[in-house]
Structure 1
Amino acid sequence: MTTRRGRRPAGGGVPLTFEVIAETLREQIRSGGLNSGDALPTQTALMREFGASSLTVQKAMALLKQDGWAVSRPGKGAFVAHHDQADADELDGPNGKTAPAGGTAARVEALEQALAKAAEQLADLRARVETLEAGTTERGR
């Protein structure tokens, strides 16, 4: 059976090279070989290690970023995403593996907490303004 390059045949269970690269880096993160904030290997190093093209390595990095395992810092490179291990243990990723808290669920939770805090601050400010306005009105009479 002939398949297009880079395509997996229907029902094919062999992972593509970019998936192998991404899974290898995820395993290094899970095992503690790479920690939050650590620089990930360079594109050149990954190309050498896996005998892969630059496009293949870029696809692997895009997958890691999309899943919350890595972040890019312009001009600096790619780094392991920061996450709290206690939170990471509560999140299940694909294949039943633990996903980092830097993933979508953790981002949503962090945004919800920030929004709740901002709403509280707005309510406090509104109450202060009303108190000041009431005091000015009483003095003006």
Structure 2
Amino acid sequence: MTGVVVGRRGRRPAGSGVPLTFEVIAETLRERIRSGGLQPGDALPTQAVLMREFGASSLTVQKAMALLKQEGWAVSRPGKGAFAAHRDHAADDADDLGGPETTAPAGGTTVRIEALERALVEAAQQIADLHSRVETLESGGGERGH
């Protein structure tokens, strides 16, 4: 991906065609799946690997993974990680849903699971942020606080 300028902190000029980092990560993984570099059922790179590869934060990587799951390109297996979805699954979801903004019928188990996964990712990030703040406070002002 040469010549791609990635926005920082989720900001980009209005109307600009500059993709945000999570969009670049998601598109890169989609292309790896489309090209056969990642086969259906293959484990996707871990969050740590993607953070290093793209110089991204954990939240940014989580947003990319949530997008891929929402679009049907990836599936989560609790305790095991994220995996490339079967090609027909990704193609079916894209055709049926018309894009990530569209939702399936309210009774759809997959939709509910994906919504819960997104909420869990957000909650985990909030916990990580709070943990980092506490560590910063303890390391910078721990002795003064006694």
Asked if TM exceeds 0.5, the reply is yes
Q: 2:65 aligns with which of 58, 61, 64?
A: 61
Structure 1 residue 25 corresponds to structure 2 residue 16: no
Q: Is residue 40–residue 80 contact of structure 1 (8 Å, CA) maintained in 2? A: yes
CA contact (8 A) 1:71 1:81 kept: yes
Q: TM-score, normalised by structure 1?
A: 0.58
Q: Distance in 2 between matches of 1:26 and 1:100?
A: 12
Question: What is the RMSD of the two structures over their aligned residues, measured on CA atoms?
Answer: 2.2
Q: Give the match for residue 105 of structure 1.
A: 96
1:8 is displaced (CA, Å) by 2.1
Divergent runs of 4+, >2 A = 99-106
Report if aligned partners of 1:69, 1:103 keep a CA contact under 8 Å in 2.
Answer: no
Which amino acid in the other structure matches residue 77 of structure 1?
A: G
Q: Tell me the TM-score normalised to structure 2 length.
A: 0.56
Percent identity reads 80
Show structure 1 runs of 5+ residues with no match: 89-98, 109-141
Question: What are the ranges of 5 or more consecutive residues in structure 2 without an aligned counterpart?
Answer: 1-7, 98-103, 105-146
Alignment counterpart, residue 15 of structure 2, candidates 11, 15, 19: 11
Aligned length: 91
2:44 maps to 40
1:81 alignment partner in structure 2 = 85
Q: Retained in 2: the 8 A contact 1:47–1:57?
A: yes
In the TM superposition, residue 82 of structure 1 has moved relative to its aligned partner by: 1.7
Q: Deviations over 1:1-37 (max 9, x none)?
A: xxx9412221111100000000000000000000111
Once residues 95 and 19 of structure 2 are traced to their aligned partners in structure 1, the CA distance between those partners, rounded to angstroms, is: 24
Matched residue of 1:38: which SS? coil
